[in-house]
Amino acid sequence: MEEDTKIPLELNSGTYDVSTASGAFSPDEVDICCIKFTIEAVRHGSYVVFSTRLNPSNMEFVEKLERKCSDPENEIVWKLQSRLRVEKYEITPCDDEKSLNSDGIPGLILCCQKTACGKMSLFKKITIFIPF
């Protein structure tokens, strides 16, 4: 899923109470720019919760994701409410992906809240807020 992915109209509706994505945001799955789809799908005041792995091969992606979530430019539309590290998020058979003294991979759970009435549009690195 990429930024120019065509999505169903109901995902732009702002009618959902919550949006969740467990492990979907990662380099080979759903790109960071697609967070806008989850934000657009929920109502004002609603929450978006997503998680990702903290394994060595995913750390550059995680850094970009955290910067995106805490970017002050986004606060006009959504705000990071909580960040939770989970030590045994996922079990892996790959030794090089395991954390020390554990057979699991740690994970990160982020919770954001939609803070403004309106629709968010992202064009590269510019956030535009269009009120109704």
Report all structural domains of the chain as residue ranges with CATH numbers, in order of start. Answer: 9-120 (3.30.110)
Is this prediction's pTM over 0.85?
A: no
| Other CB atoms within 10 Å distance of the CB of residue 73 | 12
- pLDDT for res 1: 54
6 versus 122: which is more confidently predicted? 6
- pLDDT for res 78: 86
Separation between Cα atoms, residue 88 and residue 79, nearest integer Å: 26
Q: By CB neighbour count within 10 A (0-12 exposed, 13-18 middle, 19+ buried), where does 79 fall? A: middle
Confidence of residue 68 (pLDDT cuts 50, 70, 90): confident
Compute the average pLDDT of residues 119-132.
37
- pLDDT for res 97: 63
Separation between Cα atoms, residue 46 and residue 88, nearest integer Å: 28
Separation between Cα atoms, residue 49 and residue 38, nearest integer Å: 9
pLDDT tens, 1-48?
Answer: 556 666 666 666 788 888 888 888 888 888 888 887 888 888 888 999
Separation between Cα atoms, residue 55 and residue 87, nearest integer Å: 11
pLDDT tens, 86-118?
Answer: 888 887 766 666 556 667 788 899 999 988 654
- pLDDT for res 39: 84
- pLDDT for res 60: 92
Task: Say if residues 112 and 41 touch (Cβ distance below 8 Å).
Answer: no
